[in-house]
Every structure is written in C-alpha cells, then in structure tokens.
Amino acid sequence: MATAGTVPWAWLAGMNLKHFPNVPWAVPPAALYLWLFWRYARGDGWPRSTAEARRRSLRANSLPGELWAAAIFAGVLGLIAVVLLLRVMNRLVALPQQQDDISKYPLMTVVFLVAMGSVVAGVVEEGSFRGYMQGPIERRHGPVIAILVTGLLFGFVHFTHPEVTVLLMPYYVAVAAVYGALAYFTNSILPSMVLHAGGNALAAIDLFARGRSEWQTSTNPDPLIWEGGTDASFWISVVAFLFVGSAAGWAYAGLAAVAKAAGVVHQTEARQEI
C-alpha cells in the first residue's frame, strides 16, 4: 500500500523538478492517481470479492462532529508533546540535519509540490500503516502491540531518506503513537490523516523558510548535556514535555469516553463479536 501510493508521486515530483520546473505539472496526474488509489483502497473496483475487505481494512469511517473535535484536540496535544520531546532529544544526541536547497526552483512549483506531497503522505501513510497494517494486528494482539509494531515499521520506511538514522526512531515511534491511538479510539484514520497532512505541510514550510528539519528545534542547537551539563533550558523542556504529555494522555482518555458514548466499536471488539 505504502509503495503503491508514494513511489509514483516521488517519481513525478522528481521529474517535475528536473524537467520544466517552472510549472508544477506533476500535481494534476498525482491528484488523479491519488483519487484512484483512495477509491480502490476503500473498496471500489475489481475484484468485487475483496471489496468489503479493502473497505474494512482502510477504516476510513465517518465520525460525528463531537468525535472529530475530541480527536483533533487530542492529536494536536500529542503532536505538541512530540515537538517538546524533540527539544529534549536535541540536548541528548546530535540529530542529523536535512539538506534541501530549493532556492533554484520557482516558488510556485515548490508550494504546489509541498501541498501535494503533504496530502499524499497523509492519505497513503495513514491508510497503509494505521489502516491496513495496524487494524489486523489490533485484532490479533491488541492496540499496544499494534501501535508499537506499526511505529517501528513506520520509522524504518523513512530510512529511504538519506538523512534519517536510527537516532530518529523514538521520534517516528512517538508520532506513530499519536496517530495510531487516534485510529484505535475512533476506529477511523480520518483525524490522523488530516493531522498528518497538516503536520507535513508545516514541517516542509519550516524546512524551506528556516533551513531546519522537522526534528531540529532550532537552527543553532544548544550543546549536548554530556558536553556542557544541564541548564535551565533543558529542565524547562523536560518539565514542559511531561506536562503536555500528561495533558495529551488526559485528552486521549476523554476521546475514548466520547468514542464510547458515540458507539464506536474497536477492531478488537469487532473480532470478539465475530
């Protein structure tokens, strides 16, 4: 699923930057392909014998308004906690720096490619990892194992980017936990899909505007605590991470309560009923 959804876009974007970069011509065919990908993943097309299995595996289930609000609130708090975790990590280890020089490309092309790439990441990665992969593991082993396994594989997939190393695995597992918990409690990938696409867009804008990766909290990082010792900035980051992380946990508990009141049936519960 992930390969089928992302490789065509990566190829189109690369060709666009190489040939006729003044026009973002890769966006329309990519949008058409993504639409066809989404329709097939949710159960349209041949063979009809697998249509229901594909629809259930994607779990792009619609949600009532109150559940949407609770999910977005919990997810945003979770992502803020991840950012604060990165602040702590940047004082513990030297995280790699992403190098992308976009100054040679037209601004309009970059904007359109970033927007399309963010949508592709949100749709394809959430459908693949939190839908098709996480759901079956949830039914067999429960949500904790499902989110952990999915998060590890989610991180390993990003090793295709040259700047990604094993030092970033805690970051990707944490992000996967934020999205995976949303998918579990709501039995839908829609909230995580929206947050994933929005987060990728903001990260790309930050990279291009300030020249720093999404996991770099500043262009001029503070020294590691092993070199210069701890300071007030480090401890403030630790306390802030613990505080916001606790608030995110509270928000997810509230999301679970709202989901239960709305009659959401988890994958594990559906399996027990069968």
Q: Kindly report, residue by residue over 70-118, the tens digit of the pLDDT.
A: 999 999 999 999 999 999 998 998 888 766 667 788 989 999 999 999 9
pTM: 0.92
pLDDT tens per residue across span 194-231 = 999 999 998 888 777 666 666 666 666 778 999 889 99
Residue 270: its pLDDT value, please? 55
Residue 274: its pLDDT value, please? 43
Which pair of tokens denotes residue 44?
């349209």
Residue 203: its pLDDT value, please? 84
Interatomic CA distance for residues 248 and 193, integer angstroms: 18
Report yes or no: 91 and 234 within 8 Å, Cβ to Cβ. yes
Mean pLDDT of the chain: 90
User: Structurally, how many domains does the chain consist of?
Assistant: 1
Report whether pLDDT(272) > 60: no
Report whether pLDDT(177) > 80: yes
Range of the domain at 73: 2-273
Q: Which residues contact 192 (CB under 8 A, 6 or more apart)?
A: 75, 126, 130, 178, 179, 180, 182, 183
For residue 221, cis peptide bond before it (omega within 30 degrees of 0):
no
Type of residue found at 85: L
